[in-house]
Amino acid sequence: MIANVRSFRRGRLSRAEAVAAVGGLRNHHTVAQVTAALDGSGDAVRDVWVADGDLHVPGDLDLTRERVHFLAVLGDLTVDGVYRDSDDPESLLLVTGAMRARDVVTAGWLDVYGDLTTDRLVGDYNDCSARVDGDVRARLFYGENHHFTIGGALRAGTVIGRPRLDVAVRPDVIDEDDPRMLEHFDRDLLDVFDDHDANGDAVTCVAGLRDVAEVKRRVAAGLPLRTAGPPGH
């Protein structure tokens, strides 16, 4: 268990306090889901945590590994490592301030009132979604099939694919079959084949990501997606 949070299962958080924190979520489905878990009619094994103010996590924060159903941070959240959640079992994060993490891999429900700042932002599947009221800043954004609603601007250095995205100004993207993918991913992560153009010259073609699971694993581990060397080698 991380420091500076209060746990419902450990008796440090009352049901009334937990319900009040859950009320900050903007999705009615998730509110009902967490409330049911508090009453023992839902997922009674996992916990509900509340941080009363800003929360700093020196390492990684993985809600599934921590066996946490819902974490409410009533302030800013800073994670020095990776933030990760899941969709099976579903986990939920509410941040009433801004969120900053080295990397983010999100498959669960993410609800941030302020800005989200990270190096790499990766979505995972489409059962849940992410909502950020402020700006999203990331060096690399790969949404996969996860849905993102961004109230501010998306300020990403590179956007991979065509994310499921609600945002005022849609970003320029690198399609997954664009040869520029080789500038951002190792060849073994991609479906790559050699061909010839109309002039008979050899060309390298990309048909998308071959190993999405490995992409997520590397991001979660803080590893590069493209190691040193010329693209495609």
Model confidence pLDDT, tens digit, residues 96-131: 999 999 999 999 999 999 999 999 999 998 889 999
- Could you read off the pLDDT of 14-57 as tens digits, one per residue? 999 999 999 998 887 788 888 887 877 544 558 999 999 999 99
Q: What is the dihedral of CA 9, 12, 15, 16, to 10 degrees?
A: -160
The larger pLDDT score, comparing residue 155 to residue 201, is at 155
Tell me, yes or no, if the pTM score tops 0.85: yes
Name the residue ranges covered by the structural domains of the chain: 6-166, 179-221
With contact defined as beta carbons under 8 Å apart, do 51 and 4 qualify? yes
Q: How many helices (H) and strands (E) does the chain have?
A: 3, 17
Q: Would you say the C-alpha torsion 132, 136, 139, 143 has a positive or negative sign?
A: positive
